[in-house]
């Protein structure tokens, strides 16, 4: 099955939010598991005020004995509404303590009877914290990058080393935040494939972080971006041959079978948030990188 890793190289451009939105928008008929593998710790359990019954730390403990892929489901929690999530570690001390177990855990995740969307957080030097083992099993690495000159310069600096480490793994960039540059200009500058930019959408992002409620979350710019991006990633809406579409998959409790993951975030007393159409005015930004192409961006980076 498909394993998509999401990361950043600097700052906090919205990796956890993007991973949650993508997993919640996964095509019907395909089981997905959201995994928090940020070495600095998981955010979703605290955001949802959930005391994890499992999570990565109990999975690591199990991996010390034996681990077959199906065992992963024993450590999976569910966000309200049904999205299966493997909650992250408490923090970097736990990440250091468990780093050596990552090859086994990454192997189990990649052999799971589900697609995996895995948030590996900000990439550390030498892809520390187990991220190297995850990326060795990944089908694609999606790097989120603020659409600012400095963030693009930092990413450009990191890309050659990253490409050498990844050896053939498909690397895709998602510009995030208030769009200062067009996807096309960023792609040209970095010479990488650029996915649809993640729009600024504080209301929907706050809803995904359980900080507020939003009516018709699936119609927000952020969730529509997630739909587009799942499609752009080539995740097939049709179940792969041999995978059960009917009935329960091992990770989904009986009462949550058929749950709409986006419904996970739908509140009881929703409020409307402002969703202006066409808020991402790409044409207005076209050309702002003119004169800041590879050469002048190089100057900016010096």
User: Shortest gap between Cβ of 45 and ligand ADP (angstroms)?
Assistant: 13
Kind of pairing between the strands at 193-194 and 3-8:
unpaired
Q: Using CB under 6 A, pick the residue from 37, 205, 280, 292 that binds ligand ADP.
A: 205
From Mg ion, ligand ADP, none, interface partner of 84 (C-beta below 5 to 8 A by class): none
> Taking CB under 5 A as the criterion, which residues in 6-45 touch Mg ion?
15-16
**In the complex with ligand ADP, which residue's Cβ is closer, 54 or 177?**
177
Q: Give the residue among 139, 55, 137 at the shortest CA–CA distance from 95.
A: 55
Q: In angstroms, rounded to a whole number, what is the distance separating the alpha carbons of residues 296 and 292?
A: 5
Q: How many other β-carbons are positioned within 10 Å of the β-carbon of residue 17?
A: 25
Q: In angstroms, rounded to a whole number, what is the distance separating the alpha carbons of residues 41 and 20?
A: 15
Strand order in the sheet with 140-146: 77-78, 84-86, 32-36, 115-122, 3-8, 140-146, 170-176, 193-194
By the rule CB under 6 A, 91 interacts with ligand ADP: no
**In the complex with Mg ion, which residue's Cβ is closer, 14 or 31?**
14
Q: Using CB under 6 A, pick the residue from 2, 3, 4, 14 that binds ligand ADP.
A: 14
Q: Using CB under 6 A, pick the residue from 2, 8, 146, 182 that binds ligand ADP.
A: 8
Task: Show the binding pattern over residues 36-75: x = contacts ligand ADP (CB under 6 A), - = does not.
Answer: -------x--------------------------------
List residues binding ligand ADP (CB under 6 A): 8, 12-17, 43, 198, 200-202, 205-206, 209, 222
């Amino acid at each position: 099955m498909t394993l998509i890793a999401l990361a950043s190289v600097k700052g906090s451009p919205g990796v956890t939010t993007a991973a949650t939105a993508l997993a919640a928008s996964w095509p019907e008929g395909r089981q997905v598991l959201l995994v928090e593998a940020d070495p600095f710790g998981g955010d979703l359990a605290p955001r949802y005020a959930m005391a994890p019954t499992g999570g990565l730390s109990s999975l690591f403990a199990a991996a010390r004995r034996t681990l077959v892929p199906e065992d992963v489901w024993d450590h999976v929690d569910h966000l309200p509404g049904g999205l299966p999530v493997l909650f992250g570690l408490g923090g970097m001390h736990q990440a250091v303590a468990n780093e050596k177990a990552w090859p086994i855990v990454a192997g189990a995740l990649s052999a799971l009877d589900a697609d995996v969307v895995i948030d590996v957080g900000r990439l550390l030097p030498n892809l520390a914290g187990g991220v190297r083992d995850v990326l060795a099993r990944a089908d694609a690495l999606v790097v989120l990058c603020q659409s600012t000159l400095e963030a693009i310069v930092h990413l450009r600096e990191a890309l050659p080393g990253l490409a050498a480490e990844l050896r053939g793994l498909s690397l895709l960039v998602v510009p995030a935040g208030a769009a200062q540059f067009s996807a096309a200009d960023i792609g040209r500058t970095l010479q990488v494939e650029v996915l649809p930019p993640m729009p600024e959408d504080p209301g929907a992002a706050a809803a995904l972080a359980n900080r507020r409620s939003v009516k018709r979350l699936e119609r927000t710019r952020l969730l529509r971006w997630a739909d587009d991006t799942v499609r752009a990633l080539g995740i097939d809406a049709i179940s792969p041959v041999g995978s059960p579409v009917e009935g329960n998959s091992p990770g989904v409790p009986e009462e949550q079978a058929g749950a709409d993951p986006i419904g996970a975030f739908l509140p009881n007393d929703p409020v409307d948030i402002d969703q202006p159409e066409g808020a991402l005015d790409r044409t207005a930004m076209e050309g702002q990188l003119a004169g800041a192409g590879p050469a002048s961006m190089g100057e900016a980076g010096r």
